[in-house]
Structures are given as C-alpha cells and as structure tokens.
Structure 1
C-alpha cells in the first residue's frame, strides 16, 4: 500500500466539518483538553478523541499528557502542505485579478 502525500492527509483530515470545528477550537486556545472540547459540542468524548487522533496523524495538533488529562494545541507547521498547494494557485488568481482590475478601469475610467 502506498503512503498518502502530506497534502492528502491534511485535506482528508479537514474535510470533515466536525473535525474542522474541533481544529478551530484547538486553534482558538493555547491548550485545550478533550473534556473542554466535548463540553457544548454536541459530540461524545469518544468522537472528539477520534477527531483529535486524525488531526494528530495529519500533524495539525500535538498533545501534552499531564496526569490523567491530555492537552492539545495547534501545530501550525501541519498546515504547510496546504499552504504550499494553495500558493501554487496564487499566481493564477493574481493574474486573474490583475486582468479584472484592467477591465474595470476600461469600463469605468
């Protein structure tokens, strides 16, 4: 079996809306526990743990065990494959916006 490219792992991990919401909550805090993530989420603690496992495997979060609790924080470097992929298309959009700017100036000088 071939190993998925890092971009595939990141995209697959962030494709799930609940997992994205969990990731956003982790990003919005310095550190957060599974119990804190579960509170008010409408998702079971087991499901939150599974989402965190996927985010961890994608390199998007790191964990810090402390006694019986595990705290999670965002790993910004994990988004690098996604940023690299998107930057490839940045040139395309910059060219399109430049063309649009020129067209708008022609229409309404």
Structure 2
C-alpha cells in the first residue's frame, strides 16, 4: 500500500493476472454480477471476491447491490497513474533509440 494513500496501490492491484482479467471482463461488460464473473474462472466465488476486494481497495472497481446480487463496474481513473508511469518510460526509450540511431548513422559515415 502507498503510505500517503490509504487505498491499495494500483500497481499492486494489477500485478496479478487474475485481477487483470477481472478488469477486462468488467470493462467489456460495463456492469456485471459476481456470479457471471465467477463463471469465467476455475476458482470459487470466495477467491473471485477476494480479488475483487483488492481491486475495490485500489479504487479500480465499484460495486452496487441489486436485490441480493452484487454488480461490479470499472472505475478506470486510477489506471491513469499507470499510464503516466508508462508514458515516462516510453519517452525514455524513444529518446535512447533516437540517440542510438544517430550514433549508428555517424559510424556508417
């Protein structure tokens, strides 16, 4: 967890492939009940719920009760932190590749 933020770290939340798959399923569905999510995995409802709890703690998933059913939807805003982090490294590699190309061209001359 991030010490400055009481919520779970978004990087920690997406580190697990099951949680990344949950995010994709929820995003594609718009809103989806727990039983439909559970049917997509070879694990029990409790295990899926634990993964969803981690995603909720990171702010990536919102839930609401509809009768006895819990439905989940994506809150993509926390993914901006990951996008920003990746953007820095994208620029880093682009700049380094440009420099490498320039060095190779200079050596050819």
Q: Sort the TM-score into its range (normalised by shorter chain).
A: 0.7 to 0.9
Compute the RMSD of aligned alpha carbons: 2.5
Of Structure 1 and Structure 2, the greater helix share is in 1
Match of 1:14 in 2: 14
Match of 1:66 in 2: 66
Give me the whole-angstrom Cα distance separating, in 1, the residues matched to 2:26 and 2:88: 27
Give me the whole-angstrom Cα distance separating, in 1, the residues matched to 2:100 and 2:74: 37
Report the CA distance between 1:31 and its aligned residue: 0.6
5 Å matches for 1:1-109? Answer: 3=3, 9-99=9-99, 102=102
Report the CA distance between 1:36 and its aligned residue: 0.2
In the TM superposition, structure 1's runs of 4+ consecutive aligned residues that sit over 4 Å from their partners are 100-107
Give me the whole-angstrom Cα distance separating, in 2, the residues matched to 1:42 and 1:98: 46
TM-score (norm 1): 0.79
- How many residue pairs match? The answer is 106
Deviates more, 1:54-63 or 1:84-93: 84-93
Q: Which runs of 5+ in 2 are unaligned?
A: none
Give me the whole-angstrom Cα distance separating, in 1, the residues matched to 2:5 and 2:85: 12
Q: Which runs of 5+ in 1 are unaligned?
A: none
